[in-house]
Amino acid sequence: MANSQTLYEKIWNAHIVEKRDDGTCLLYIDRHLVHEVTSPQAFAGLRANGRTVRRPDLTLAVPDHNLPTTPRVDAQGHRLPITDPESAQQLDMLTRNTAEFGIDYIDATAPAQGIVHVIGPEQGFTLPGTTLVCGDSHTSAHGAIGALAFGIGTSEVEHVLATQTLLLSPSKTMEIRIEGTLGAGVTAKDVILHVIGKIGAAGGTGYVIEYTGSTIRDLSVEGRLTIANMSIEGGARAGLIAPDETTFAYLKDRPMAPKGAAWDAAVAYWRTLPSDPGAVYDRTVLIDATEIAPSLTWGTSPEDVVPITGTVPDPMSFADPSKQVAARKSLDYMGLTPGTPMAQVPVQHVFIGSCTNSRIEDLRAAAAIADGHHVAAGVRALVVPGSGLVKRQAEAEGLDRIFVEAGFEWREPGCSMCLAMNPDKVPPGERCASTSNRNFVGRQGPGARTHLVSPAMAAAAAINGRLSDVREFDTGVIS
Amino acid sequence: MKPVTHVSGRAYPWGAKNIDTDVIIPAHWLKTVTREGLGKGAFETVRAESGNIFDDPRYAGAPVLIAGDNFGCGSSREHAAWALADMGISAVIAPSFSDIFSGNAFKNGIVTVVLPQDAIDRLIEVAKTDAVSIDLETMTVTTPFQDRFPFALDPFRRQCLMEGLDEIGLTLARDTAISGYEAGLAESRPWMAGERFHASA
Ligand code: SF4
């Protein structure tokens, strides 16, 4: 059909302020999330040029990257100081900048504080059909709600603060259609790892991905957020999932979502957003959900994916000579020998958290594995809820007790061990099963070795002290 | 921004693929609140290896970096572009770049040149001994050996680079159009107007 449009095209077209002859568009930005690390230079730029924030009401700020995940107030409720002076300075600047420019700010000690990509959907700040940006590449996560959401650099943060727009060229569109029912122990995390393994870390460069198919429709919003989050690991700046009844049910009554008649009008509009039948994508990738195993990474690129039943690959098994070189370097860094079964690799650290996997469903999945077991000797295992709301919900369900009794640490919300910017780090040469999204060299600390896994697989690794197939637990077999 | 019309000089003949922003500038350098001084942390993990390209005296202060596919993948940190600029790099040549990185580079006056792999292979050979030259006027990369590789550049980006334009200033001049869009939005999708956050939530 000539007039058929994809979800991406509909959102893009609805936000064009001006279109240039070369196809570049000045695009209106509906929602802007701000955190402490990528904003100080942007506010400094505004100040240096005597500029203001155009729409503080469309902007929301929260600290997450630098915050230690240890308690933030003492027994009397007094705020505890942040010992790292550079982190303290960045956090202090966010407080002062948001006050000076009139931006809503969720303080480090507020109950709603959390990772920027967890609190956006949770507060109903993220809405279908909106354009949403943040100075952080995992902004792609919000695409799970049906928002066109992508990470921007600090100069663009400044541009959005000053003008509420961005100058952008349209992307190509890629449909990743996943059909079928997921097998036992296979989660959204395994799906997205499998997808990245298939398309490669640069496979989505220049594209916006739309995830379609029955597997995606059957996922909860939490699972969809995990998938859209890691679109950037596949090279795509944004990932989209069409809003549906699951999305609406998730958003209803969230603090910042529309209410009453405005809600009804919004839902009516959101129903018009899904891609039209016959809409054309520049590329389509088909994936059979029944082929996806519980998966994990072996190397230092998120495309280095194997099933947990697999072995460490031989670098010579890759056709591309440059990949052979990269794989050899990766294995050297990771301290792994080709042919070793993945499920025999010991771990010293387990991290359950990050904007990929720190929502309530993730914690429930990990707790279900941990329940009645104990973390293996010599393993340090952290559980870091994505937000204060997730933390309190988990505590109301008793998940914190399950974790603590099993020997996990139960922490305050933040980015934590996802990136080495706060005190939660993996020491050099040690190995971590992590539910985060990046296994880059040094990501969790200099010399740290990261294996990306689902929350259930992370919990299983903590208990066995080695990378583990979560399905062992389903059958009650624990070594 | 300083106008850039051409970049010439020695080039780091690196060619490595999938260089992510954690390699360009590790996270612990991100606690800065200014744009300057990040050159010290650029490629820190690479520089920890003896015989690395960045400490090779032949390339000291080279204004060009030649890399492999997917350069700048990973995070959105503009610190990656600031670090390159601070170490004196004004142009990166690669077969492909991450979208976010090339935007960040452009905003800091760093030219990202996309060339096919065979051109990259040839430039890496040349760069081991000689200078390369990138000209935005003719949109070509040339060497002292008659090599001539044409490249494409977004016309708007090219103009901004060559004239040193401030993009925010340019957009602010479109205020009437932005206000017009906002007025329409209040009519068509009123729920998009921001609900303020209530700290009690
Ligand atoms: S949890 Fe990790 S990936 Fe997510 S915003 Fe924080 S640092 Fe970035």
A348-386 pLDDT tens trace = 999 999 999 999 999 999 999 999 999 999 999 999 999
Put simply, the chain B residues between 158 and 187 with a CB less than 8 A from any chain A CB are 167-168, 171-172, 174, 177-178, 180-182, 185
Q: For ligand 1, say whether the CB of A466 is within 6 Å of any of its atoms.
A: no
Q: Which one of B78, B98, B103 has the shortest CB-CB distance to A38? A: B78
Q: Phi first, then psi: what are they for A320, rounded to 5°?
A: -75, 120
Q: For ligand 1, say whether the CB of A443 is within 6 Å of any of its atoms.
A: no
Tell me the helix, strand and coil percentages in chain B, rounded to 5.
40, 15, 45
Q: Which one of B103, B171, B196 has the shortest CB-CB distance to A104? A: B196
Enumerate residues 6+ apart whose C-beta is below 8 A from A27.
Answer: A12, A15, A16, A17, A131, A165, A166, A167, A168
Q: How confident is the model over A36-52, as pLDDT tens digits?
A: 999 999 999 999 999 99
Distance CA B184, CA B171 (A): 19
A191 with A178: CB under 8 angstroms?
yes
Strand order in the sheet with A449-452: A409-410, A380-383, A349-352, A431-434, A449-452
Q: Which one of A154, A155, A255 has the shortest CB-CB distance to B198? A: A255
Instruction: Give the β-pairing of B148-150 and B140-142.
Output: antiparallel
Spell out the SS3 assignment of A302-364. CCCEEECCCECCCHHHCCCHHHHHHHHHHHHHHCCCCCCEHHHCECCEEEECCCCCCCHHHHH
Average pLDDT, chain A: 96
What pLDDT score was predicted for residue B201?
41
A230 in reach of chain B (CB within 8 A): no
A57 in reach of chain B (CB within 8 A): yes
- Local confidence pLDDT in tens for the 201 residues of chain B: 789 999 999 999 999 999 999 999 998 899 999 999 999 999 999 999 999 999 999 999 999 999 999 999 988 899 999 999 999 999 999 999 998 899 999 999 999 999 999 999 999 999 999 999 999 999 999 999 999 999 999 988 999 999 998 899 999 999 999 999 999 998 889 888 777 766 444
Q: Which amino acid is at B103?
A: G
Distance CA A353, CA A360 (A): 11
The tokens describing A42, both together, are 């942007």
Q: How confident is the model over B168-200, as pLDDT tens digits?
A: 999 999 999 999 999 999 888 988 877 776 644
CA–centroid distance, residue A256 to ligand 1 (Å):
22
How far is the CA of A249 from the CAs of A16, A120, A145, A188, A254, in angstroms?
29, 16, 11, 19, 10
pLDDT band at A473 (very low <50, low <70, confident <90, very high): confident
Q: How confident is the model over A394-451, as pLDDT tens digits?
A: 999 999 999 999 999 999 999 999 998 999 999 999 999 999 999 999 999 999 999 9
Distance CA B176, CA A455 (A): 49
Q: Which one of B28, B33, B180 has the shortest CB-CB distance to A93? A: B33
Put simply, the chain A residues between 119 and 138 with a CB less than 8 A from any chain B CB are 123-125, 127, 129-130, 135-137
Distance CA A25, CA A54 (A): 19
A6 with A275: CB under 8 angstroms?
yes
- Which of A76-85, A108-117, A276-285 comes out lowest in average pLDDT? A76-85
* Closest residue in chain A to residue B20, using alpha carbons only: A440
> Coil, strand, or helix at residue B128?
coil
What pLDDT score was predicted for residue A309?
97
Which residue of A432, A437, A444 sits with most ligand 1 atoms within 8 Å of its CB, as the best mutation to test the pocket?
A437
Q: Residues of B with CB below 8 A from A258's CB?
A: 191, 195
CA–centroid distance, residue A15 to ligand 1 (Å):
27
CA–centroid distance, residue B61 to ligand 1 (Å):
33
Distance CA A146, CA A143 (A): 5
Q: Which amino acid is at A209?
A: I
Nearest in space to A13 (alpha carbons), one of A1, A21, A25: A25
- The DSSP H or E segment spanning A177 is strand A172-179
CA–centroid distance, residue B42 to ligand 1 (Å):
21
CB contact under 8 A, B33 and A154: no
What pLDDT score was predicted for residue A475?
45
The tokens describing A230, both together, are 């890691």
Q: Is the pLDDT of residue A128 over 70?
A: yes
- Taking CA atoms only, the protein residue closest to ligand 1 atom 4 is A355
Distance CA B193, CA A337 (A): 56
Please report, rounded to a whole number, the percentage of residues in chain A having pLDDT higher than 70. Answer: 98
| Torsion sign, CA atoms B113, B114, B116, B121 | positive
CB contact under 8 A, A28 and B22: no
CB contact under 8 A, B35 and A301: no
A392 in reach of chain B (CB within 8 A): no
Q: How confident is the model over A9-38, as pLDDT tens digits?
A: 999 999 999 999 888 999 999 999 999 999
Nearest in space to A338 (alpha carbons), one of A364, A314, A373, A355: A314
Strand order in the sheet with B11-13: B11-13, B64-66, B91-94, B111-114
Q: How confident is the model over A53-102, as pLDDT tens digits?
A: 999 999 999 999 999 999 999 999 899 999 999 999 999 999 999 999 99
Nearest in space to A153 (alpha carbons), one of B169, B1, B77, B19: B77
Q: For ligand 1, say whether the CB of A115 is within 6 Å of any of its atoms.
A: yes
Task: Count the residues in chain B.
Answer: 201
Distance CA A237, CA A253 (A): 29
Distance CA A138, CA A225 (A): 10
pLDDT band at A479 (very low <50, low <70, confident <90, very high): very low
DSSP state of B17: S
